[in-house]
């Protein structure tokens, strides 16, 4: 490469930050870091009819959560700013007028009603809807008449009507399009705002973008952009159109619209949903990198620095890849198991707070060894530990009575357990286990039956973290109080 790499991620703030957009941003970021280049964030916010005020905060927060920090862009600045297209409208107007002056574009006065009627007639005739270039060859007098009526025109590109337009895509090779398939696209709307095509090309040139990495749905726009680059006499950046992400079935593109059949799991598609569901950003980055890219076809786990070092565009697939929630769950669980106790405790504490559980760091830290192997997401911790931080627990009294035992048997076992635990000294895991196993022998009960009764009495659950460690964390006072409450229930 003869130029320093400059790539951009250029989302439109029309909705929440989607998985597909996040994967595009990640690949741009990895490529820039791998090549020692610059990663630019540009906000394409000229479509005011679809603008969503919630989208930009969600985008910035989600990108920071994923660790995709930008070198230039909003809140960072840079010498190629401003980085909001709504602040650059005067530039697009200037370049559109330049093309008109050079005969590369023209003013179109056609009303929306005429265009709608034209499209309907073309559809009825079995033709591909498109502009008929009515205003392309207007005389000076006709233009003056339209102007006298106060009609504000749009500006259209004067696309060639013969020959071909050709370009290269790094993943898809050489692509040729017949010019008779291309329309005279609108560059500048009557309200003075640019269309995506004009703003995109002008900004990529003025910001010295060297490579464009984006989803393959934009591939059909490239011939139009080639014409614009040619009209301006500019060099077009290297084109790389990334494969789509398919839904888990592999049959269709992963949609932003939620579809869930009865009994199916909730389909998350926005980055903030994964964050709220308790996924780790490290796991999300690792997983997203593999949805369309592979290092050697077998290795799956990479640190962020390894991804930067190993990422190569030649290893990006041109075939779509299915998104697997099960694979993400497994990867997230592995990342959780590899976190240090203090790190995991801090993350769990924040998660528990968000779920309305008033936990404390040191208690959560004690619980980490008991639950780390049992959870796939941070959110799952609550169902394992909520009873620890509850003032009272509630459960069905019948849960205290194991199979093949009656109420009197369960009551006898709990009374004996209360005495044994009251005498455990110190009240730690080792001594608790010794006391209760000796008690099960003395009562002639299977250890599983005795411990099951105590588990329900102290946690309100039939499935909970390992009992001896749990009781040690609860402490003698809380443990005995809960056993006494269970005895009262049975009595």
Weakest-pLDDT range from 41-50, 138-147, 254-263: 254-263
Residue 208: give its domain's CATH number.
3.40.50.620
> Taking 70 as the threshold, does the pLDDT of residue 246 lie above it?
yes
Residue 470: φ, ψ to 5°: -65, -45
Q: Clarify whether residues 301 and 381 are in a common domain.
A: no
383 is a catalytic site residue: no
Asked if 458 and 482 count as a contact pair (C-beta separation under 8 A), the reply is yes
**Is the residue at 41 inside a domain?**
no
For the chain, the domain total comes to 4
* β pairing state of 186-188 and 173-178: unpaired
Q: List the alpha helices (DSSP H) in 102-191.
A: 112-124, 140-148
Residue finishing a domain among 370, 389, 408 = 389
Q: What is the pLDDT of residue 256?
A: 66
What digits encode the pLDDT tens for the residues 269-317?
A: 999 999 999 999 999 999 999 999 999 989 999 999 999 999 999 999 9
**Is the residue at 23 inside a domain?**
no
Mean pLDDT of 373-390: 98
The proportion of the chain whose per-residue pLDDT surpasses 70, expressed as a percent, equals 98
> Taking 80 as the threshold, does the pLDDT of residue 260 lie above it?
no
Q: Clarify whether residues 211 and 138 are in a common domain.
A: yes
Asked if 418 and 375 count as a contact pair (C-beta separation under 8 A), the reply is no
Asked if 462 and 448 count as a contact pair (C-beta separation under 8 A), the reply is no
Q: How far apart are CA 357 and CA 385, in angstroms?
A: 10
Considering the chain, what is the average pLDDT of its residues?
A: 95
- Per-residue pLDDT band for 2 (boundaries 50, 70, 90) equals low
For 269-304, give one letter per residue: b (16+ CB within 10 A) or e: bbbbbbbeebbbbbbbbbbbbbbbbebeeeeeebeb
**Is the residue at 49 inside a domain?**
no
Q: Clarify whether residues 101 and 229 are in a common domain.
A: yes
Q: Clarify whether residues 334 and 348 are in a common domain.
A: no
> Taking 60 as the threshold, does the pLDDT of residue 1 lie above it?
no
Pseudo-torsion of CA 67, 72, 76, 80, nearest 10°? -170
Residues in the chain: 491
Q: Clarify whether residues 331 and 220 are in a common domain.
A: no
Mean pLDDT of 226-241: 97
Residue 296: give its domain's CATH number.
1.10.1160.10
Q: Clarify whether residues 368 and 433 are in a common domain.
A: no
Asked if 108 and 153 count as a contact pair (C-beta separation under 8 A), the reply is yes
Mean pLDDT of 429-437: 96
Question: What secondary structure does DSSP assign to 370-381, as a single string?
Answer: HHGGG-SSGGGH
Residue 435: give its domain's CATH number.
1.10.10.350
Provide the sign of the torsion angle of the four alpha carbons 295, 298, 300, 305, taken in this order: negative
Q: How far apart are CA 211 and CA 225, in angstroms?
A: 14
Q: Which residues contact 419 (CB under 8 A, 6 or more apart)?
A: none
**Is the residue at 52 inside a domain?**
no
- Per-residue pLDDT band for 248 (boundaries 50, 70, 90) equals confident
Q: What is the pLDDT of residue 263?
A: 55
> 267 or 59: which carries more pLDDT confidence?
59
Q: Clarify whether residues 183 and 139 are in a common domain.
A: yes
**Is the residue at 82 inside a domain?**
no
Burial class of 310 by CB neighbour count within 10 A (0 to 12, 13 to 18, 19+): middle
Q: Clarify whether residues 194 and 321 are in a common domain.
A: no
Residue finishing a domain among 372, 389, 406 = 389
Residue matched to tokens 């439109």: 12
Q: How far apart are CA 81 and CA 76, in angstroms?
A: 10
**Is the residue at 14 inside a domain?**
no
Q: What is the pLDDT of residue 49?
A: 85
Mapping DSSP to helix (H, G, I), strand (E, B) and coil, where does residue 188 land?
strand
Q: What is the pLDDT of residue 234?
A: 98
Mean pLDDT of 392-399: 96
Residue 69: φ, ψ to 5°: -75, 140
Mean pLDDT of 365-384: 98
Mapping DSSP to helix (H, G, I), strand (E, B) and coil, where does residue 174 land?
strand
223 HSE (CA, 13 A, CB side): 19
**Is the residue at 29 inside a domain?**
no
State which H helix or E strand residue 241 sits in: strand 238-242
- Per-residue pLDDT band for 267 (boundaries 50, 70, 90) equals confident
Domain hosting 405: range is: 397-490
Q: Clarify whether residues 101 and 160 are in a common domain.
A: yes
Helix, strand, coil percentages (3-state) for the chain, rounded to 5, are 50, 10, 40
**Is the residue at 261 inside a domain?**
no
Q: Clarify whether residues 163 and 296 are in a common domain.
A: no
Q: What is the pLDDT of residue 48?
A: 81
Q: Which residues contact 15 (CB under 8 A, 6 or more apart)?
A: 52, 55, 256
Q: Which two tokens stand for residue 119?
A: 């499209």
Q: What is the pLDDT of residue 254?
A: 80
List 224, 251, 253, 256, catalytic entry: 256
Q: List the alpha helices (DSSP H) in 35-164.
A: 55-66, 89-101, 112-124, 140-148
What digits encode the pLDDT tens for the residues 182-214?
A: 999 999 999 999 999 999 999 999 999 999 999
Q: What is the pLDDT of residue 249?
A: 79
Q: What is the pLDDT of residue 88?
A: 97
Q: What is the pLDDT of residue 395?
A: 96
- Per-residue pLDDT band for 265 (boundaries 50, 70, 90) equals low
Asked if 197 and 159 count as a contact pair (C-beta separation under 8 A), the reply is no
Q: Clarify whether residues 478 and 438 are in a common domain.
A: yes
Asked if 463 and 399 count as a contact pair (C-beta separation under 8 A), the reply is no
Q: What is the pLDDT of residue 258?
A: 55
DSSP annotation of 167 reads E
Rama region for 165: left / alpha / beta (φ>0; ψ in -120 to 50; rest): beta
Q: How far apart are CA 5 and CA 35, in angstroms?
A: 7
Rama region for 83: left / alpha / beta (φ>0; ψ in -120 to 50; rest): alpha
Q: Which two tokens stand for residue 176?
A: 């040729």
Q: Clarify whether residues 109 and 209 are in a common domain.
A: yes
Whose CA is closest to 172, among 224, 103, 238? 238
Whose CA is closest to 8, among 32, 52, 35, 41? 41
> Taking 70 as the threshold, does the pLDDT of residue 373 lie above it?
yes
Q: How far apart are CA 78 and CA 72, in angstroms?
A: 5
Q: How far apart are CA 467 and CA 482, in angstroms?
A: 14
């Amino acid at each position: 490469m003869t130029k320093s790499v400059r790539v951009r991620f250029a989302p439109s703030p029309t909705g929440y930050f989607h998985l597909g957009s996040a994967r595009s941003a990640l690949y741009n970021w990895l490529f820039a870091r791998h090549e020692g280049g610059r990663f630019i964030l540009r906000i394409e916010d000229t479509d005011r009819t679809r603008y969503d005020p919630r989208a930009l905060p969600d985008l910035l927060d989600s990108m920071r959560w994923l660790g995709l920090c930008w070198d230039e862009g909003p809140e960072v600045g840079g010498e190629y700013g401003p980085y909001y297209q709504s602040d650059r409208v005067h530039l697009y107007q200037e370049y559109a007028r330049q093309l008109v002056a050079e005969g590369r574009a023209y003013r179109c006065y056609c009303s929306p009603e005429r265009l709608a009627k034209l499209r309907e007639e073309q559809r009825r005739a079995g033709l591909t809807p498109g502009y008929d270039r009515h205003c392309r060859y207007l005389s000076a007098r006709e233009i003056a008449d339209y102007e006298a009526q106060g009609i504000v025109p749009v500006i259209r590109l004067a696309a060639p009507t013969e020959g071909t337009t050709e370009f290269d895509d790094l993943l898809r090779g050489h692509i040729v399009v017949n010019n008779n398939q291309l329309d005279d696209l609108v560059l500048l709307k009557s309200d003075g705002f640019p269309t995506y095509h004009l703003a995109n090309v002008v900004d990529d040139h003025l910001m010295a973008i060297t490579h464009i990495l984006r989803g393959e749905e934009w591939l059909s726009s490239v011939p139009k952009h080639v014409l614009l680059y040619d009209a301006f006499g500019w060099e077009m950046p290297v084109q790389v159109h990334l494969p789509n992400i398919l839904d888990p079935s592999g049959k269709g593109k992963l949609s932003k619209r939620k579809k869930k059949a009865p009994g199916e799991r909730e389909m998350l598609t926005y980055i903030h949903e994964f964050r709220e569901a308790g996924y780790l950003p490290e796991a999300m980055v690792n997983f997203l990198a593999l949805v369309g890219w592979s290092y050697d076809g077998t290795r799956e786990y990479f640190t962020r620095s390894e991804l930067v070092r190993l990422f190569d565009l030649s290893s990006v697939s041109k075939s779509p890849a299915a998104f697997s929630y099960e694979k993400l769950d497994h990867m997230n669980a592995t990342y959780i198991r590899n976190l240090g106790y203090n790190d995991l405790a801090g993350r769990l504490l924040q998660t528990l707070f968000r779920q309305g559980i008033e936990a404390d760091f040191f208690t959560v830290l004690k619980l980490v060894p008991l639950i780390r192997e049992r959870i796939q997401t941070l959110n799952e911790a609550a169902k394992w530990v909520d009873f620890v931080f509850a003032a009272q627990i509630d459960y069905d009294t019948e849960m205290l009575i194991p199979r093949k035992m009656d109420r009197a048997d369960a009551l006898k076992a709990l009374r004996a357990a209360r005495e044994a635990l009251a005498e455990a000294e110190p009240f730690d895991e080792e001594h608790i286990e010794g006391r209760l196993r000796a008690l099960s022998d003395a009562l002639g009960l299977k250890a599983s039956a005795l411990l099951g009764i105590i588990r329900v009495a102290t946690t309100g659950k039939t499935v909970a973290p390992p009992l001896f460690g749990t009781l040690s964390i609860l402490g003698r006072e809380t443990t005995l109080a809960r056993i006494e409450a269970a005895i009262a229930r049975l009595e």
